[in-house]
Amino acid sequence: RGASLTDFAEKIGADAASLVQVMFHLGEMVTATQSVTDETLQLLGAELEYDIQVVSPEDEDRELLESFSIEFGEDEGEDSELLPRPPVVSVMGHVDHGKTKLLDAIRNEDVVAGEAGGITQHIGAYQVQTEVDGTERKITFIDTPGHEAFTAMRARGARSTDIAVLVVAADDGVMPQTIEALNHAKAAGVPVVVAVNKIDVPDADPAKVRGQLTEYGLVPEEYGGDTMFVDISAKARINIEGLLEAIILTADASLDLRANPHQDAEGLAIEAHLDKGRGPVVTVLVQRGTLRVGDSIIAGPAYGRVRAMFDENGQQVDEAPPARPVLALGLSAVPRAGDNFMVVADDRMARQIAERREAAVRNASFARITKRVSLDDLSKLLEERQALNLVIKGDVSGSVEALEDALAKIDVGEEVDLRILHRGVGAVTENDVNLATIDNAIIIGFNVRAQGRSVERLADREGVEIRYYSVIYQAIEEVEAALKGMLKPEY
């Protein structure tokens, strides 16, 4: 796994040079920093009367955190310390339906931002205030339109979003990416508020949008369903307040959003880049606890002490409570979007954990490949009575639907479920691979290929299988064979 005598020495509190000598006496010439095999470590351990257990990188990461008594992802303390927190919202929808315009309009609606007089900065997320039933309420928006960011974060196990706003242009109606976005929200179990946009244009038909989405299971409240539809114009700034209110009402109705602000902060890196003057700059979304200037944090493989924090108006802040996004300076490196961050007791611990994490990331591709399934592993899956998850991409919607219908008719009895996580028209994208990663899905490309080498590389890295077909019955046969556990390993 790439451990060296230096690593080992650090672990047992010995000095590396004397371990090199011990190894020499045991007949092996190794330098202090060279990586050695597990057997070598065990040999060395036996000689020094240490019991060495070889653990996987994930185990190691967890054990390391546990040894410091750190748990991630849990609110600590009594229930009474869990206080209401603002919802975190992502905006999704078809291209050109107005996601970017809406995010701008919402920001401009916010009086607080205006009063602060700061320079509006894009930091990847922002928070606004709105009045609902006479009470001031806050909402946090992830300022990256589209579901790519959302899915990429989810692929890393991060849960960034409480509510999805699905933007549908009233003149265009439901389009392929509308459905794609909806599928992503459904897969994540995130409630949806529909923003029917562009109602200012003459051929806007908001009723049609309601009808179309009803077919996909989003039934408007006014038709007796439980999804709020709000007619807006992002461009003419019509009814933005109404949309904000709908978000709050949806949060109040179906989510009990609480967090303990009185603990060490934890959350997610939303966006990060390397700034020439300021070094690594990262936007973090605090999910629990309160982040303060001076805190030692780790964020993925990065660590450091928070030197300064800024809000989306460029104003310096000292504290960030739950659901507050802030831009933080002082990290050692640039984390990835979706990496967890947390406050730890001191700099040294932060550095140690970050270094372990980095090593774990380096090894993760190996660890992962064994975790993902391929069609050929299916008999094993069948024993565990799991589902075969598919993502289907095709050249035209007709072929995708035909394939889906045919697959749905495969009779495999009750032990196994065939689940189609997502279907769509077009090449297999990075986004499809990310979605497949989350649920161990296999991607079927029907008369389409991957969108470039980078997508294939990502699939390789994540161990996601993409299978291409140009004949429907062949696709069906293979899936059926797989489901029945009779698939021959070679093709």
Q: Is 98 annotated as a binding residue?
A: yes
* Secondary element (H or E) of residue 378: helix 378-383
Phi, psi values for residue 79, rounded to 5°: -60, -35
Single residue of 200, 358, 404, 460 touching ligand GDP by CB under 6 A: 200
Single residue of 160, 177, 233, 239 touching ligand GDP by CB under 6 A: 233
**DSSP class of residue 286?**
E
Q: Is 267 annotated as a binding residue?
A: no
Residue 337 CA to residue 151 CA, distance in Å, equals 11
**Strand, coil or helix: what is 246?**
helix
Single residue of 65, 125, 188, 234 touching ligand GDP by CB under 6 A: 234
User: Residue 147 interacts with ligand GDP (CB under 6 A)?
Assistant: no
Q: Is 88 annotated as a binding residue?
A: no
Min dist. Cβ of residue 233 to ligand GDP (A): 4
User: Residue 243 interacts with ligand GDP (CB under 6 A)?
Assistant: no
User: Residue 99 interacts with ligand GDP (CB under 6 A)?
Assistant: yes
Nearer to ligand GDP, 168 or 284 (CB): 168
Residue 432 CA to residue 152 CA, distance in Å, equals 10
Residue 50 CA to residue 310 CA, distance in Å, equals 48
Left, alpha or beta for 385 (phi > 0: left; psi -120 to 50: alpha)?
left
| Residue 4 contacts residue 32 (beta carbons within 8 Å) | yes
| Residue 232 contacts residue 195 (beta carbons within 8 Å) | yes
User: Residue 197 interacts with ligand GDP (CB under 6 A)?
Assistant: yes
Min dist. Cβ of residue 140 to ligand GDP (A): 19
* Secondary element (H or E) of residue 303: strand 302-310
Give the Cβ contact number of residue 73 at 10 Å: 11
Nearer to ligand GDP, 7 or 143 (CB): 143
User: Residue 145 interacts with ligand GDP (CB under 6 A)?
Assistant: yes
User: Which range binds ligand GDP by CB under 6 A, 34-42, 232-240, 298-306, 346-354?
Assistant: 232-240
Residue 474 CA to residue 479 CA, distance in Å, equals 9
CA distances from 234 to 61, 137, 139, 144, 183 (A): 45, 21, 17, 16, 24
* Secondary element (H or E) of residue 323: none
Could you give the dihedral angle defined by the CA atoms of residues 423, 424, 430 and 435, in that order, rounded to the nearest 10 degrees? -20
Nearer to ligand GDP, 197 or 250 (CB): 197
User: Which range binds ligand GDP by CB under 6 A, 22-30, 196-204, 207-215, 268-276?
Assistant: 196-204
Single residue of 1, 85, 97, 423 touching ligand GDP by CB under 6 A: 97
Q: Is 118 annotated as a binding residue?
A: no
User: Residue 98 interacts with ligand GDP (CB under 6 A)?
Assistant: yes
Q: Is 197 annotated as a binding residue?
A: yes
Nearer to ligand GDP, 232 or 438 (CB): 232
User: Residue 101 interacts with ligand GDP (CB under 6 A)?
Assistant: yes
**Strand, coil or helix: what is 386?**
coil
User: Residue 96 interacts with ligand GDP (CB under 6 A)?
Assistant: yes
User: Residue 175 interacts with ligand GDP (CB under 6 A)?
Assistant: no
Single residue of 184, 198, 422, 423 touching ligand GDP by CB under 6 A: 198
Q: Is 110 annotated as a binding residue?
A: no
Q: Which residue is nearest to ligand GDP (CB)?
A: 98
* Beta-bridge partner residues of 340: 268
Start-to-end CA span in the chain (Å): 33
Binding region: 93-100, 143-147, 197-200
Which residues would be at the binding site for ligand GDP (CB under 6 A)? 93, 95-101, 145, 197-198, 200-201, 233-236
